[in-house]
Amino acid sequence: MQKTQVAPEAPFITRAQKSDNTNQPVAPQARAALEQMKHEIVAKLGITLGPDATARQNGYVGGEITKRLVRIAEQQLSKGIH
């Protein structure tokens, strides 16, 4: 098997780095806002999260959070706020 060459400037994540992912917010002060967003989405959808929730339900909530965060970031970037 040949080894794939990677350009020195190409960033990549090693397995060790990836396994250290604890799904913690980059900005810990955002934790409350993220929790509130999650609860709003869950209430809107009528889902009960927890051990009995399906992977599809949990994934839908996570996807909805991601969409909202992207929308917020796009709005801030369009206003020139970084």
Separation CA 16–CA 56 (nearest Å):
28
Which structure tokens are listed for 81? Answer: 């706020």
Nearest partner of 39 among 31, 29, 49, judged by Cα: 49
Nearest partner of 37 among 7, 68, 12, judged by Cα: 68
The reported pTM is 0.64
pLDDT by residue for the chain (82 residues), tens only, comes to 555 554 555 555 555 555 556 677 788 888 999 999 999 999 998 988 888 999 999 999 999 999 999 999 999 999 886 5
Instruction: Report the pLDDT value the prediction gives residue 34, as an integer from 0 to 100.
Output: 93
Instruction: Report the pLDDT value the prediction gives residue 44, as an integer from 0 to 100.
Output: 93
Nearest partner of 41 among 23, 27, 53, judged by Cα: 53
Domain borders along the chain are 26-78
CA 46-52-58 angle, 5° bins? 60
Tell me which H or E stretch contains 16.
Answer: helix 15-19
